[in-house]
A and B are shown apart, each in its own frame.
Chain A
C-alpha cells in the first residue's frame, strides 16, 4: 500500500466517527471535554457553531453520530452524545454576547427565505452577521417549521424552541408571520431579492387510498397535519381506541400524542417485521414504555365504516420469507384480521409539494415534484434560487436541514458577491499536540469502563396529565460526570512520524486493543489479514506509514478499535507517536475568502 496521506483533510476527520457521521460536522469530543470541565456555555458554543440548535437537537436529533460512535464497537453502547448536548444547552449561561456582531451598515444585498424552519433559520444565522438583509416568509403564526408543528411538546418544550429561534430572529431577521408565499413568479419579479432560499419542508403527508377512506374521513387523520393541529391547539382530543398506520418517527409521535389527548388503547400497525421499522430504536423504546402496542405483519386492507362512522380497520395478515442477509424474498397473505378503532392516523411518510412555484420559471422538477437541486451548492436550475432542508431532497431530519442551510448560505453569499457558487473553500484539518509533560496529556486518556447512563423519565403516572410535560428529565450532575468519561476522545489523534521510529515494538506491546503492527508492506486486503488482530471492519481506515528506517517494514494502524488512550505515545522512546488534537475546519459562509466578503460602504 502507498503510505497513508494524512494531510488529506478527510483522513483524521474520518477517525472521529461521530463528527464524520454528523451532517453538520459537530466537534463532539471537544464539547464533551468542555462539559467534563463544567464549561457548559463553551460547550454550547462549540455546538452552535456547527449545528445552530443545540437545545433542540439535544432532545430530538436523529443522532447519526451515536451508531457511528467507536465506543459502540469497543463495548456495545455508544456515548450518549445527544443527551450530553442537552446538558450543555440546559446549563449554559448567557451566550448571545458571544455571537458575531451584526453590522449596523448592511451590504446592500437582500435574501428571501421561504418557510421559517430549520434550514431557513440557519441561512439567516449565517448571512445576517455578514451584513445581509434577510426576510423570512412563514405561513403559520409562529416560526419553527416542522420542529414546532410535528414534534410534540412533551419531547421538545416550546420554551427551548422559542429561545433558539429567538436568538436568530434577534439578529435582525425580518420575520413575516402568517405570510404564505403564493407565487414564486410574483416573489422573483417584484420582491426585489438578490437570492431566494426555499426551505418550506416536505409538508404533505402521504395518503392511503383504500376503500372506506372517504366515508370515514372524519376520523381518519394524516399524521403530520394532525400533529400540526395539536401543536396549534386546534385539536384537543381523540377517541379511546386509536390505530396508527406506519412505524416511522412520526408514527411514534402520533401514538404518544394520542395517549395524552385521551386515547386509552393505541396500536401501531406495521406491514413488515420489526427489523424493517424506520423509527429510531430509542423512539420505539419510549413509545413501548408508554404501553403502545406494536403489531407487526398487518397490511392495511380497508377502513370499516358502519352507519357513517369509522369502527375500525381490516388488515391482511402477512407472512414473509427472509434470506440469509435478512432481506425479504417472498411474501404472502395468510388471512385477515379486524382491529376496532375510533380514530386512525396515517403516518406513512411525507412528500414535497410546491403548488406555489410556477413551472415556467426555469426551476426544474422531476415527475414526483422534487426540484432538481445541486447536492453541493443547493442551487436549483435557476441561478439565485436555492433549496434546502426537506424541500431539497425530501424528508430527512433536522441536523441535515442545518447543514443544507450552512451550504446554501455559502452559495447565496458567493452568488450575491458575483462569485461562482461551485468554487467553495475546501475543508481543512489542523493538528496540535496534546503533550504536557513526560506522561501528561491535556486530555483524560485513561479508559473508563463505565456503562452508558440511562435517561431519567417523568413517571408514567405523571406524564399524561398535560400534553407539554417533558418526559425526559435530562442527566443529573452525577450521570453527566460519568457519561462524559465514556468519550474516547477520538479527535486526539495518534500521529506517527516514521523517520523517528527505532522499531522497538513498545507501542505494539502496550496497545490494549492490538491495533498496531510493524510488518512487511503488502496490498491492503492481504495486509488486513496479517495484523496483530485482523482488521475486519472495511469501513474503518488502515494507516500505513512510510518504510521504517532500520528494516524497511511499515507501521500499520487499524483505526477501528483505537481507544485513543495514548499509551503508544507514552511508551514511545523517540516521540515517533504523538497525540494531537485534530480540529476540522468545516467552512461556513463567514469563512469564505476575503474576495467574497461584503464590501461595506465607506463611512466618512
Chain B
C-alpha cells in the first residue's frame, strides 16, 4: 500500500471514453493492500474495463464478501453503489439487488476463501440461477488476511512460506462452474492486463453469470519459490488457449481474422466477442470437450487461460422466473402490492 493517496494531478493526454471521462475518473479510494498485491492490478484492470465500456458510475453495483479481495470494491469507481456483505454471502446480496433492479451492472469481487470455502454453497446457487452479474475471483491460494494459511484453491504440493506442503486437492472454480452449467467461464492472470481487460468487458456485457477466475499472486504470503501461485510460476505455467476481443455494438469488426482460428460470438445485445483460438483444437462452445481439455492440461501442470467457455443463449434469472421487465422501483405501488384482497387470494391457495 501507499501512505499518501494518488494525487489528483493527471496526464493531459489521457484518452477519454464516450462519456468524455478518463480512467482517472473511474478510480476509487486509496488501497490498503500490500505493495505489489495482484488484487491491485485487477482493480486497475476493472477500472480500465469499466472506463472502456463507458459505463456510468451510478449504474454500477459493486458487491463483495470478506477478505483481502473483498476490500477492493472500494478501490474502483467511487461513484458506484457498493455492498460489503457477510463472509461468503455476497451472492445473496447480489441476488436480492438484481431481483429488484435488473437494469444495473453487477460486479461481485470475491476471493478463493470467500468463494470456495465459506461461500461455496452461495456461489453454486448463483451459477444455477444464472444470475446476471460479473463474478471475479481474486485467487491467490492463501488466506492472506489471516497470515497465509492454505486456501481451498491451493494446489497439491504447493509450499507455504514457512515450508509446509499442501496435501489436499484444490477446488478449481473453473471446473466447478463447468459442471454446474455456468454460461460464461474464463480464467486469467492479474499480471496480464492485455488478456484480462477484454475478458472483463465481455463479462460485463454477458447476460447471465460471468465467472472470471483471476490468478492473483499474494506478494506477502505466496510469492516464493515452491508456490504454484507466484508471479514467476504463473508466468511459466499459464497457457492462453482463447483470447477474447470484445467488440461493442457500435464498432465494426475491422480486423481480418483467419478462418478456423477465430470465432465471433454474438451477445444478446448484438455486440460481439471475437475469440482467437491459440490452441486450434480447443472449442470454447463445447462444454464436455472443453472441460476434458482443461483437466488434461491441469494434470500436466498447465492451466489454461482465456475465455474457456461461453454460451450467450442460456436464459438468465429474470427470463427463467418471468419477472417484470423494469426495475421494481419504477412500478406503481398498486402494481407492487397485491392489496388485502389480492393477499387473501394468494393465501387461499395454501389453505
Contacts and interface: CB of A to CB of B under 8 A. Distances in A.
Interface stretch (B10-18, B52-60, B99-107, B292-300): B10-18
A257 B97 CA distance: 75
Contact of A573 (B2, B9, B34, B235): B34
Given A506-B41, A514-B14, A570-B2, A449 B9 contact: yes
B351 interface: no
A505 B190 contact: yes
Contacts of A447: 7-9
Contacts of A446: 4, 7
Interface in A539-596: 550-551, 561, 563, 565, 567, 570-574
A513 interface: yes
B44 A509 contact: yes
B346 interface: no
A74 interface: yes
A9 interface: no
A571 B24 CA distance: 18
A567 B14 contact: no
Most buried by B among A508, A570, A571: A571
Interface in A510-536: 510, 512-515, 533-534, 536
Contacts of A550: 231-232, 235
A536 B13 contact: yes
Contacts of A509: 40-41, 43-44
Residue of A449, A513, A561, A574 ringed by the most chain B CB atoms within 10 A:
A513
Given A512-B7, A512-B9, A550-B235, A504 B36 contact: yes
Given A445-B4, A550-B235, A533 B36 contact: no
A74 B23 CA distance: 17
Interface string A445-467: 11101000000000000000000
Interface in B15-41: 15, 23-24, 34-38, 40-41
A573 B217 CA distance: 12
A439 interface: yes
A503 interface: yes
Nearest to A533: B11
B41 A504 contact: yes
A503 B191 contact: yes
B2 A563 contact: no
A127 B190 CA distance: 61
A571 B35 CA distance: 4
B235 A551 contact: yes
A513 to B, nearest CB: 5
A510 B10 contact: no
Contacts, number: 100
B41 A502 contact: no
A2 B36 CA distance: 27
Given A533-B14, A534-B13, A551-B235, A506 B7 contact: no
A128 B70 CA distance: 69
Given A502-B223, A504-B38, A550-B232, A561 B11 contact: yes
Nearest to A560: B11
Contacts of B37: 504, 506
B44 A572 contact: no
B44 A512 contact: no
B6 interface: yes
A572 to B, nearest CB: 6
Given A533-B14, A573-B36, A510 B2 contact: yes
B8 A449 contact: yes
Most buried by A among B2, B37, B235: B2
Nearest to B220: A573
A567 B9 CA distance: 13
B10 A512 contact: yes
Given A505-B191, A506-B35, A509-B43, A514 B11 contact: yes
A598 to B, nearest CB: 51
Contacts of B231: 502-504, 550
B350 interface: no
A74 B9 CA distance: 7
A467 B40 CA distance: 63
B40 A567 contact: no
Nearest to B219: A573
Interface string A17-51: 00000000000000000000000000000000000
B193 interface: yes
Overall SS of chain B's interface: loop
A155 to B, nearest CB: 34
A558 to B, nearest CB: 9
Given A509-B41, A572-B36, A573-B36, A567 B13 contact: no
Contacts of A508: 44
B10 to A, nearest CB: 6
A536 B15 CA distance: 13
A574 B36 contact: yes
Nearest to A567: B2
A349 B309 CA distance: 77
B9 A513 contact: yes
Contacts of A75: 9
Contacts of B219: 502, 504, 573
Nearest to B236: A550
A503 B193 CA distance: 11
Nearest to B194: A519
A435 B38 CA distance: 24
A574 B11 CA distance: 26
Contact of B6 (A445, A506, A567): A567
Contact of B35 (A513, A515, A536, A570): A570
A214 B263 CA distance: 89
Interface in B116-148: none
A505 B35 contact: no
Interface in A75-122: 75
Interface in A175-190: none
A419 B37 CA distance: 59
A508 to B, nearest CB: 8
Contacts of A513: 9-11
Interface in A420-457: 439, 445-447, 449
A74 B11 CA distance: 7
A446 B4 CA distance: 7
Given A533-B14, A573-B34, A573-B36, A502 B9 contact: no
A151 to B, nearest CB: 37
A464 to B, nearest CB: 42
Nearest to B6: A512
Given A515-B11, A570-B2, A571-B35, A505 B223 contact: no
Contact of B36 (A74, A515, A571): A571
A533 B10 CA distance: 10
Nearest to A71: B9
Contacts of B2: 439, 510, 567, 570-571
A505 B41 contact: yes
A574 to B, nearest CB: 7
Interface string B256-271: 0000000000000000
Contact of B44 (A505, A561, A570, A574): A505
Nearest to B216: A504
A11 B21 CA distance: 35
Given A550-B235, A570-B35, A571-B2, A533 B13 contact: yes
B4 A567 contact: yes
Contacts of B41: 504-506, 509
A-B interface, 10 closest residue pairs, ranked by CB to CB distance from nearest: A573-B36, A447-B7, A509-B44, A439-B3, A533-B11, A570-B2, A505-B41, A513-B11, A504-B36, A502-B231
Given A449-B7, A504-B231, A506-B35, 5 more contacts: A502-B232, A504-B191, A505-B193, A512-B9, A570-B35
12 contacts: A74-B9, A439-B2, A439-B3, A502-B219, A504-B36, A504-B41, A504-B191, A509-B40, A509-B43, A512-B8, A533-B14, A536-B13
Interface of B: 1-4, 6-11, 13-15, 23-24, 34-38, 40-41, 43-44, 190-191, 193, 217, 219, 223, 231-232, 235
